[in-house]
Amino acid sequence: MFLILVLVLVAAIYYYGTRAFDYWEKRGIKHEKPLPIFGTNLKQFFQRASMAMMASETYRKYPNEKVVGFYRGTKPELVIRDPEIAKRILVTDFQHFYARGLIPHKTVIEPLLKNLFFADGDLWRLVRQRFTPAFSTGKLKAMFPLITKTAEKLQVITEDIVNREYYDVRELMARYTTDFIGECGFGINMDSLNDENSLFRKLGKRIFERRFRDALFGALKFIFPELCKDLHFLAPELETTMTHFFNTVVKERNYKPSGRNDFIDLMLELKEKGEMVGESIEKKTNNCEPEIVKMELTDLLMIAQMFVFFGAGFETSSTASSYTLHQLAFNPDCQEKVQAEIDMVLEKYNNKITYDAIKEMTYLEMAFNEAMRMYPSVAYLIRKCTSKKYTIPEIDLTIDEDVSVIVPIQAIHMDEKYFREPMKYDPERFTFGAKDDIRNFVFLPFGEGPRACVGARLGQMQSMAGIASVLHKYTVEPAACSVQVPKPDPAGTVSEGFVGGLPLKFRRREKN
């Protein structure tokens, strides 16, 4: 009897773990043969490859296809290889793909994931509408003195690592961006530059660290979404810490805007305006018009926005700026051009890193864009079909609601079909005329469409200011342990990291 029960259980698990594996075969879409339960995503579940690495691997295996099938657990997904289809998903037919699709069970969302990056539907739309003004040109200019202050502090700290055998530039820039986010976001001196073991640096590391518990819960939520809907992706200490952090700051301000014009002030100002009100992206009236929806900006929602502002704000910018410095170390001719431009521009601004000065550094921007092409901080985009049925006209393929679509940014950026000699670091690709020749939707470092990164300009300006502050006084060189093509971290989640960091040698510049 016991043996029969075991056989029945095994048969039930096998059926559950294979029941959807004819999805792409029925539609004539090429794909790898899936494994029961794990689909074609075994390596990512076992932390042998990140989601970005899996998307890139799938992209490269089928060079002649416009789309490729994939199974994340038992869930069918579609990897896009064609820029025109990517444009359709991200922009043209956005109303059918407004969901990010990063949360397997759409009715249960853990508190910290109710943020601008992870949220879907009306929650996303109302939060996006409310928070977009925080990243306007006026706001960016107003907060730039904080960038200047942190960049100058970065120069002082860099002096301490000059002539060491090596220092991880990834860690250095993460300390810089953490300090900046603390100043401009929350009016707090996080002191990560002076103390690499500061509380906030540890918090930042934990957000993007993928421990066994995180990998297990993440895999279970994708493989058994209904059974595991109450499991949290994020470690419980993150919610506890962010809640304490928020409550401490707003209590000091007596729950009112303080006049600092930072991110906390912005949220408190928005809360004073009352409910968030806007047109629904999910619900229609009997006349097929969008319903008007309302939502309160609760403390819980503000904590979630603070979490993503802190996490995404320091992580993506530090990855982009450190990888730019890494490439410049291995391409000294490009570094010399960047330094010559920095020297020339800053001379006009009394050697002060200002908003206008950074805007004039066009070659630095080209160098930054080329680094972002080779190693975008967020290496893939994911969208979930929100319509009952949707047909991709270019290939006459119909997919169902809840099927996720992946745009593998890094793989597209490194495709020689779109970028000649893609492994070569060449900022000249982004000169004024040449940049216009780059096809639409093959360079997507900040995403595209209504869900493109809302803080893209802030992130770029923050990164460029940090790079300029370092290269104005120092030169970066490969260390004995440096590798030109660093190995991506297979435990990466949303943002990409590097195994062993990015060790470089810093040398004080000898100016004439």
- Report CA dihedral (46, 52, 55, 57) to the nearest 10 degrees: -80
In whole angstroms, what is the distance from residue 226 CA to residue 269 CA?
38
Where residue 424 falls (left for φ over 0; alpha for ψ -120 to 50; beta otherwise) is beta
Q: Is 5 exposed, middle or buried (0-12, 13-18, 19+ CB in 10 A)?
A: exposed
Q: Which token pair is 122?
A: 């009306």
Q: Is the pLDDT of residue 443 over 60?
A: yes
Taking residues 274-278, what's their average pLDDT? 90
pLDDT tens-place string over residues 180-206: 887 777 776 665 555 555 666 777 677
Beta strands in 81-225 (DSSP E): 167-168
In whole angstroms, what is the distance from residue 104 CA to residue 225 CA?
6
What is the residue range of 122's domain?
2-508
Q: Binding site: residue ranges? A: 453
Supply the pLDDT for residue 53.
Answer: 93
Does 210 or 191 have the greater pLDDT score?
210
CA distances from residue 35 to 334, 406, 491 in whole angstroms, order as listed: 46, 20, 21
Alpha carbon 142 to chain centroid, angstroms: 24
Strand order in the sheet with 381-384: 67-72, 75-80, 404-407, 381-384
For 160-259, where are the alpha helices, taking DSSP H only?
A: 169-186, 199-208, 212-223, 236-252
In whole angstroms, what is the distance from residue 360 CA to residue 354 CA?
10
Inter-residue contact 479 to 495 (CB < 8 Å): no
Inter-residue contact 82 to 59 (CB < 8 Å): no
Nearest-5° Cα angle at 48, 44 to 53:
65
Q: Which token pair is 185?
A: 């976001």
pLDDT tens-place string over residues 5-64: 777 676 767 667 788 899 999 999 999 999 999 999 999 988 899 999 999 999 999 999
In whole angstroms, what is the distance from residue 252 CA to residue 264 CA?
12
Inter-residue contact 55 to 79 (CB < 8 Å): yes
Q: Residue 215 — pLDDT band, cuts 50, 70, 90?
A: confident
In whole angstroms, what is the distance from residue 68 CA to residue 30 CA?
6
Taking residues 65-94, what's their average pLDDT? 96
CB neighbours of residue 481 within 10 Å: 12
Q: Which token pair is 167?
A: 């220092």
- Among 472, 207, 238, residue whose Cα is nearest residue 318: 207
What single DSSP character describes residue 134? G
Which DSSP string corresponds to 36-87?
Answer: TTTBT-HHHHTTSS-HHHHHHHHHHH-TT-SEEEEEETTEEEEEE--HHHHH
Supply the pLDDT for residue 479.
Answer: 96
Supply the pLDDT for residue 108.
Answer: 63
Q: Which token pair is 26?
A: 């029925």
CATH number at residue 341: 1.10.630.10
* Look-up of token digits 């000699």: 421
B/e letters for 195-230, b = 16+ CB within 10 Å, e = fewer, are eeebebbebbebbbebeeebbebbbbbbbbbeebee
Please, what is the average pLDDT of the chain? 88
Domain count, the chain: 1
Highest mean pLDDT among 27-36, 105-114, 452-461: 27-36
pLDDT tens-place string over residues 311-329: 777 788 899 999 999 999 9
Q: Binding site for heme: residue ranges? A: 453
In whole angstroms, what is the distance from residue 457 CA to residue 27 CA?
41
Taking residues 477-487, what's their average pLDDT? 95
In whole angstroms, what is the distance from residue 253 CA to residue 263 CA?
13
In whole angstroms, what is the distance from residue 30 CA to residue 27 CA?
9
Does 266 or 31 have the greater pLDDT score?
31
